[in-house]
Amino acid sequence: MADEIFTDPRLAALYDPLEADRPDLDAYLRIAEQLDARTVLDIGCGTGVFALLLADRGLAVTGLDPAAASLAVARAKPGAEQVRWLHGDANTLPPLQVDLATMTANVAQAIVDPALWHTTLTRARAALRPGGHLVFETRNPARRDWESWTRANSHAVTDVSGIGEVESWVELIDVDGRLVTFRRHYVFTSSGEALTSDSTLRFREREEVEADLLTAGYRLREVRDAPDRPGKEFVFLAQRADH
């Protein structure tokens, strides 16, 4: 098992309380506004935070995620009935014609398998209307962010409504070329129960992503900085290329 933080209902319930501050989503909201997007596909929507922000602004949103436990959290939120939630990945996408597809919070890095990454880009393109855009971020490997993924840097105790105090931290497990594996730890203070979630992320170079986008039928419009994490992320804004 891996990625229990998304797939185990006991941990999926902790994702939002432990990531309560989401300044990262402001830049995505601004991009949706700048593009005047009315219809959005949020790939890897997780617990639906961004999908619901868009729906609240009157956009028609489809949220896609392979983790049923995260989607269950999303579906239970106020306003969830305004979003079309799809359980699956790019392979299972129905026909769509959206203005904008998004992958927030480094979803791109969670798609580790090269074939699935390529499929995700090509299926996302197929889900765009002609001229539609794809926007997503990925950490700049040169920053070697994983070197700061230590217990000392990440240890926190959070009071989670309805659950009680949860102690959490991350531990780096392995760095194997482009693949970085880390373990999230959770201890529920009231019961003493300890759960872990292992995840592997792929760190891609900017040039590699640019080439992947071209191959998948996009024109690269811009590579931006993430305003809340200056210098740490590449934010790719790509447009469906039609010839």
The residues of the shown chain that bind ligand SAM, judged by CB under 6 A, are 6, 43-46, 49-50, 65-67, 70, 89, 104-107, 110-111, 116, 120
Give 1 or 130: the residue with its C-beta nearer to ligand SAM.
1
Give 12 or 35: the residue with its C-beta nearer to ligand SAM.
12
Tell me how far apart the terminal alpha carbons of the chain are, to the nearest angstrom. 43
Task: In angstroms, give the least distance from the CB of 194 to ligand SAM.
Answer: 22
Alpha helices in 96-202 (DSSP H): 107-110, 114-126, 151-154
Using CB positions, name the residue nearest to ligand SAM. Answer: 46
What are all long-range contacts of 85-91, with beta carbons under 8 Å and residues at least 24 apart? Answer: 85/45, 85/48, 86/62, 88/64, 89/64, 89/116, 89/120, 90/43, 90/64, 90/116, 90/119, 90/120, 90/122, 90/123, 90/124, 91/116, 91/119, 91/123
Give 66 or 243: the residue with its C-beta nearer to ligand SAM.
66
What DSSP state is assigned to residue 92?
A: G
Task: In angstroms, give the least distance from the CB of 191 to ligand SAM.
Answer: 26
Task: In angstroms, give the least distance from the CB of 54 to ligand SAM.
Answer: 12
Give 111 or 128: the residue with its C-beta nearer to ligand SAM.
111
CA separation for the pair 192, 203 (Å, rounded): 35
Give 160 or 189: the residue with its C-beta nearer to ligand SAM.
160
Do the beta carbons of residue 18 and residue 168 sit within 8 Å? yes
CA separation for the pair 220, 240 (Å, rounded): 9
Q: Report the 3 state secondary structure along 48-72.
A: CHHHHHHHHCCCEEEEEECCHHHHH
Task: In angstroms, give the least distance from the CB of 243 to ligand SAM.
Answer: 27
Give 10 or 242: the residue with its C-beta nearer to ligand SAM.
10
Do the beta carbons of residue 175 and residue 189 sit within 8 Å? no
Task: In angstroms, give the least distance from the CB of 145 to ligand SAM.
Answer: 14
Task: In angstroms, give the least distance from the CB of 70 to ligand SAM.
Answer: 5
Task: In angstroms, give the least distance from the CB of 205 to ligand SAM.
Answer: 20
Single-letter amino acid code for the residue at 147? E
Give 50 or 218: the residue with its C-beta nearer to ligand SAM.
50
